[in-house]
Amino acid sequence: MDVDLRKLRYFVAVAERLHFGRAAEALHIAQPVLSRQIRALETELHAQLFLRDRRATELTPAGEQLLVDARPLLASADALRRRVSRAARGPDSFTVGFMPGLIVTAAVRAMASRHPQLTVEVFRTDWHDSVAAIHDGRVDVSYVRMPVDPRGLQLRPLLSEPRVVLLPVDHRLAGRESVAIAELADEHLLQDPDAVPEWRDLATELRTGRRPPLPAMKTVEEKLEHVAAGRGVAVLPLSTATFYTRRDLVHLEVDDLPPNQVCLAWDSSRRSPLIHEFAALAVDHDPVGATPQAGAVHR
């Protein structure tokens, strides 16, 4: 029997969270789809992996064993993809990942001017794949927005910027210049609550257990469409909000939210001097036109 790696990834997401809803949000798929995939995996393995009732989700002994075995198997598959992707790009290429709202042209041009023989490419990532693109070898370095899972990564802080809430233009708060996070407690947040823990701690829909499932969204553009349609609100870094200027949306600074930090990230197992050279250039060339963060601590 061939084991489907995608189903294994779905299983690990649920096993690590012991919650199908949160796992579905992290995977950017609908919860019914995730449940079907887990049932299909159980059928293929002829084993029940989870015990579920209205109050909790638990691993069975078979599920505990699969979690132990699945992690190194997935890590090995990821390493294989990284090696193949890098080999396919060749030794004379260097790829930089970037997220919406971040302008990396200056650092990329500086890198290309230093190495005329090097083909310096750019690759647009999003919230759900900015780290995955590093791990699977699609990029050599990537501009990421914190928080991210730091395992296997080297992170170099670059700058921080305010976070704002995106609202429909006819929203009750739209005429304000700024809001406090408590004023958003009754709103439906169109993103993983862990991305805005300050809202999570106050949210009415979480306190009452009435949070509806998130729609399938893979891009900022899709998220903004849902905000404009009045289906919820989103909290984004200021540069992302201003990058997507729309007449049907407004953005307000959230006074008591800490700023978002932008870092350059790369695979910590790599020792390429090109990576460290680009990291130095990234510090000197701000991707949003602000002053680099003073005294940033490298991780």
Helices (H), 140-216: 197-200, 204-207
Q: How far is CA 286 from the centre of its chain?
A: 21
For CA atoms 29, 34, 40, 41, give the dihedral sign: positive
Q: How is residue 154 written in tokens?
A: 């080297």
Residues 174 and 240 both lie in one domain: yes
- Write out the two tokens for 168: 């429909």
Nearest to 237 by CA among 144, 168, 173, 124: 144
Residue 39 lies in a domain: yes
Is 19 within the bounds of a domain?
A: yes
Q: What's the CA dihedral at 170, 175, 180, 182 to 10 degrees? A: -40
**DSSP string across 202-257:** T-HHHHTT-PPPPPP--SHHHHHHHHHTTS-BEEEEHHHHHHT--TTEEEEEETTS
Kindly report the number of other CB atoms within 10 A of residue 254's CB atom.
21
Co-location of 17 and 95 in the same domain: no
**φ, ψ for residue 162, nearest 5 deg:** -65, 155
Asked if residue 168 and residue 200 are part of one domain, the reply reads yes
Q: Within 13 Å and on the Cβ side, how many CA atoms surround 292?
A: 16
Q: How far is CA 66 from the centre of its chain?
A: 26
Q: Measure the CA–CA gap between 280 and 1, rounded to whole angstroms.
A: 48
Closest CA to 146 of 190, 218, 195, 200: 195
Structural domains counted in the chain: 3
Per the omega criterion (within 30 degrees of 0), is the bond before 193 cis?
A: no
> Under 8 Å CB-to-CB from 232, ≥6 apart: which residues?
187, 188, 189, 190, 226
Whether residue 146 sits in one domain with residue 168: no
Same domain, 168 and 231: yes
Q: Which residues pair with 263 in a beta bridge?
A: 144, 157
Residue 294 lies in a domain: no
Q: 61: buried, middle or exposed (CB in 10 Å: 19+, 13-18, 0-12)?
A: exposed
The domain boundary residue, chosen from 79, 114, 130: 79
Domain residue limits at 18: 5-79
pTM > 0.85: no
Q: What is the pLDDT along the chain (299 residues), one digit of tens a residue?
A: 678 899 999 999 999 999 999 899 888 899 999 999 999 999 999 999 999 887 889 999 999 999 999 988 988 887 787 777 767 766 789 999 999 889 999 999 999 999 999 999 999 998 878 998 898 888 999 999 998 889 999 999 999 999 999 999 999 999 999 999 999 999 999 998 988 999 999 999 999 999 988 887 878 899 999 999 999 999 999 999 998 889 999 999 999 999 999 999 999 988 899 999 999 999 999 898 643 343 333 32
